């Protein structure tokens, strides 16, 4: 068993539009993605280069500032004069308290000679620096902004031991406030560059030289960098010397990342933020080979997006505009491609039997505007099919009409002898009763009625003609029965022009007389009306009514005729009624109206009807072509 064909849910125009749109959208998205990736990498490289340049620039600025301090410290520590004088000073103050040092002339002279020479080495910038010389016992000689001498514990000086460990190399201290010299310390933090020195002709270290400057002046160049950048500077001992007040865990975290991952200087890496691990940071660092300082520059990864924000806003608008234009273009193309198909489809939907029968007229498919070869070929195929179908249908209808006409003539031929036999029997009965004059009158009427009956020119006649024939037949009946029978008409005038099959009223009236007893006063009533494009005629009488068996047999024969269309048997009772139904059904099919039933308390009712067919104005009466 074949599966039923499932109708498609989408139109060709929609499929073409969606397909083209998806294809264009995929291409545009691919271009957008490639462009986005390209500019993202370009922006990433730009940020990387900029961050590397910033790290190098910061390192160079730090190196320049600290190199000036180291220049002073290295020159003082390398001076033989200062080393000899400071060694002498250290020996002189070994067992003298701070208060008595200023009273001792030799100590004052040695102090003055040493500090004067140190100022000469420092030059004009000596007032900007703190230049101090320390011995191993904690004695301090101030040579610039602090011009004095005092003693302190070595442990109070945070950079003393690390400087000695450098063995004469420079050491950059952490930030401090000279708490071991000034009771309240300095207001601003200072950064010191220190070097150790030895006695002349010996490898024994006797002290260190310190050159210090305010950190705000050393790192003043950092104000020129963006606020979103985080900068950390470390000394040789991995101690943070910038920012001024860092969180120990934070600066250790970034330096630990640098060491544990073995990052290379000058390359940008992505790490997690210390305070917010879910926020990525971009890190680049630089190392100064002379001072061993490390500069780490950090920026949030969003700087990459920020640099692309303006560009991609414009690019996205242009992309959306191109996408809209592409959608409009695909819509117009798909509509243009399917216009001809839509016209052909509408022509097929509107095609009906009446149009197909008018084959000589122009084909409805020629209205399609064909811009493409395939659609033009489809149009020609439909047109060719239209003409072939029209000719085939016309031939079929012609054959069908001939078949229906033949059946109608056969049905009507059954009624002709039936009518003749009944009337001859009536005349015979009248002759036995000696009704000679009435017989003559009846024969004259019968001659006209026979011309109406045997005429095969029209299968359908106006209702007025059928009523006239019935009235002529009724006149014959009154000759025989007189006032024992009566006929009443209640038919509107608009029913007169309706075309109905021939010989459908008279046989019903004849049946009413046939099955009526002679003693019964018979009354026959014929009513008609038009409703919902159908005509209906009801014939009722006051006779004995239908025998139930005969009535059931008639309905069974009707059902057989509906299924087989076979002519009814001549031996069946109720032949006239079955004949009438058969001719009505051949004309009206399922629109046929036919029913028979019994009236109460007695009598019968026959209802017939069908679709309206109006007669043309024909002086002779009959069916219009």
Tens-digit pLDDT profile for residues 337-365: 777 667 767 777 766 666 555 655 555 55
Locate CATH 3.30.565.10 in the chain. Answer: 397-611
Q: Is 245 exposed, middle or buried (0-12, 13-18, 19+ CB in 10 A)?
A: exposed
CA–CA distance, 258 with 269 (Å, rounded to integer): 10
For tokens 């630089």, the residue is 286
CA–CA distance, 396 with 390 (Å, rounded to integer): 10
Asked if 206 contacts 136 with a C-beta cutoff of 8 angstroms, the reply is yes
Q: Find all residues with CB under 8 Å of 395, minimum gap 6, and list them.
A: none
Pairing type for strands 593-598 and 230-234 reads: unpaired
Which tens digit of pLDDT belongs to each residue from 51-108? 888 889 888 888 888 898 999 999 999 999 999 999 999 888 888 887 778 778 888 8
Q: Which residue has the higher pLDDT, 528 or 434?
A: 528
pLDDT band at 619 (very low <50, low <70, confident <90, very high): very low
User: DSSP 3-state helix, strand, coil percentages of the chain (rounded to 5)?
Assistant: 55, 15, 30
Region for 545 from its dihedrals, namely left if φ exceeds 0, alpha if ψ lies in -120 to 50, beta otherwise: left
DSSP-assigned states of every residue in 261-321 = TTPPTT--EEEE-SS-TTSEEEEEEEE-TTT--EEEEEEETHHHHHHHHHHHHHHHHHHHH
E-assigned strand segments in 330-484? 460-462
Find the mean pLDDT for residues 125-142. 88
Find the mean pLDDT for residues 565-577. 62
Residues present in the chain in total:
625
DSSP secondary structure code for residue 504 in this structure: S
CA–CA distance, 397 with 509 (Å, rounded to integer): 35
Give the residue from 138, 143, 139, 205 showing the smallest Cα distance to 168. Answer: 205
* Beta pairing partners, 190: 176, 214
Give the residue from 249, 222, 255 showing the smallest Cα distance to 237. Answer: 255
Asked if 510 contacts 541 with a C-beta cutoff of 8 angstroms, the reply is no
Q: Which of 176-190, 440-454, 544-558 has the lowest mean pLDDT?
A: 440-454
For the record, the structure tokens of 161 come out as: 């031991």
CA–CA distance, 72 with 125 (Å, rounded to integer): 10
pLDDT band at 407 (very low <50, low <70, confident <90, very high): low
For 319-324, the CB contacts below 8 A with 24+ separation are: 319/28, 319/32, 322/28, 323/24, 323/25, 323/28
Asked if residue 558 has pLDDT above 90, the reply is: no
For the record, the structure tokens of 590 come out as: 């399922």
For the record, the structure tokens of 54 come out as: 């910033």
Asked if 558 contacts 581 with a C-beta cutoff of 8 angstroms, the reply is yes
CA–CA distance, 122 with 142 (Å, rounded to integer): 13
pLDDT band at 209 (very low <50, low <70, confident <90, very high): very high
Give the residue ranges of DSSP H helices in 455-609. 463-481, 506-514, 548-564, 575-588
CA–CA distance, 101 with 98 (Å, rounded to integer): 5
* Cα 404-405-407 angle, rounded to 5 deg: 65
pLDDT given for residue 329 in this prediction? 83
To which CATH superfamily is domain 79-218 assigned?
A: PAS domain (3.30.450.20)
Locate CATH 3.30.450.20 in the chain. Answer: 79-218
Asked if 197 contacts 136 with a C-beta cutoff of 8 angstroms, the reply is no
Half-sphere exposure of 604 (CA within 13 A, CB side): 23
pLDDT band at 399 (very low <50, low <70, confident <90, very high): low
CATH class of 397-611: alpha beta
Give the residue from 169, 215, 175 showing the smallest Cα distance to 194. Answer: 169
Q: Which of 120-124, 252-256, 410-414, 601-605 has the lowest mean pLDDT?
A: 410-414
The 10 Å CB-count burial string (b at 16+, else e) for 352-375 is eeeebeebeeebbbeebebeeeeb
* pTM across the whole model: 0.53
Which tens digit of pLDDT belongs to each residue from 311-327? 778 878 888 888 888 88
């Amino acid at each position: 068993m074949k599966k039923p064909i499932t109708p498609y849910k989408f139109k060709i125009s929609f499929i073409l539009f969606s397909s083209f749109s998806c294809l264009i959208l995929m291409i545009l998205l691919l271009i957008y993605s490639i462009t986005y990736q390209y500019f993202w990498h370009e922006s990433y490289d730009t940020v990387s280069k900029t961050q590397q340049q910033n790290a190098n620039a910061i390192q160079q600025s730090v190196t320049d500032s600290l190199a000036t301090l180291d220049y002073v410290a290295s020159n003082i520590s390398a001076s033989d004069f200062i080393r000899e004088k400071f060694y002498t000073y250290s020996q002189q103050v070994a067992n003298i308290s701070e208060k008595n040092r200023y009273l001792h002339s030799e100590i004052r002279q040695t102090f003055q000679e040493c500090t004067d020479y140190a100022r000469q080495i420092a030059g004009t910038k000596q007032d900007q620096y703190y230049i101090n010389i320390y011995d191993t016992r904690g004695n301090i000689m101030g040579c610039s902004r602090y011009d004095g001498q005092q003693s302190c514990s070595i442990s109070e000086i945070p950079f003393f031991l690390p400087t000695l460990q450098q063995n004469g190399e420079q050491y950059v201290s952490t930030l401090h406030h000279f708490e071991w010299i000034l009771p309240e310390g300095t207001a601003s933090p200072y950064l010191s560059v220190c070097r150790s020195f030895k006695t002349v002709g010996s490898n024994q270290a006797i002290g260190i030289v310190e050159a210090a400057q305010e950190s705000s002046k050393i790192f003043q160049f950092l104000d020129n960098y963006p606020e979103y950048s985080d900068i950390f500077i470390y000394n040789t001992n991995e101690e943070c010397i910038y920012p001024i007040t860092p969180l120990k865990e934070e600066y250790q975290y970034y330096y630990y990342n640098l060491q544990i991952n073995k990052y290379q200087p000058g390359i940008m890496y992505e790490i997690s933020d210390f305070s917010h691990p879910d926020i990525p940071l971009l890190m680049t660092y630089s190392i100064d080979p002379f001072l061993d300082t490390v500069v780490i520059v950090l920026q949030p990864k969003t700087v990459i997006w920020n640099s692309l924000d303006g560009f991609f806003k414009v690019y996205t608008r242009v992309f959306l505009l191109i996408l809209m234009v592409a959608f409009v273009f695909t819509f117009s193309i798909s509509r243009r491609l399917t216009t001809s198909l839509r016209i052909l489809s509408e022509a097929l939907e509107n095609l009906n039997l009446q149009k197909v029968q008018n084959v000589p007229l122009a084909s409805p498919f020629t209205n399609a505007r064909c811009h493409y070869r395939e659609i033009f070929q489809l149009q020609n195929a439909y047109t060719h099919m239209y003409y072939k179908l029209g000719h085939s249908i016309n031939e079929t209808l012609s054959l069908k009409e001939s078949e229906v006409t033949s059946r109608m003539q056969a049905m009507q031929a059954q009624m002709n002898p039936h009518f003749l036999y009944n009337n001859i029997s009536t005349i015979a009965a009248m002759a036995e009763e000696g009704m000679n004059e009435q017989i003559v009158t009846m024969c004259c009427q019968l001659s006209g009625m026979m011309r109406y009956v045997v005429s095969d020119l029209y299968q359908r006649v106006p209702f007025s003609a059928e009523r006239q024939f019935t009235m002529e037949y009724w006149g014959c009946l009154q000759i025989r029965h007189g006032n024992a029978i009566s006929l009443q008409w209640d038919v509107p005038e608009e029913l007169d022009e309706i075309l109905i099959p021939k010989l459908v009223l008279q046989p019903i009236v004849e049946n009413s007389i046939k099955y009526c007893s002679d003693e019964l006063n018979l009354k026959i009533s014929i009513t008609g009306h038009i409703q919902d494009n159908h005509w209906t005629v009801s014939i009722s009488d006051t006779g004995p009514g239908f025998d139930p068996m005969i009535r059931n047999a008639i309905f069974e024969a009707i059902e057989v005729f509906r299924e087989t269309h076979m002519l009814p048997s001549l031996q069946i009772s109720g032949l006239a009624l079955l004949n009438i139904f058969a001719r009505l059904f051949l004309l009206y099919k399922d629109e046929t109206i036919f029913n028979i039933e019994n009236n109460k308390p007695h009598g019968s009712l026959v209802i017939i009807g069908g679709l309206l067919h109006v007669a043309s104005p024909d002086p002779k009466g009959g069916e219009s072509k």
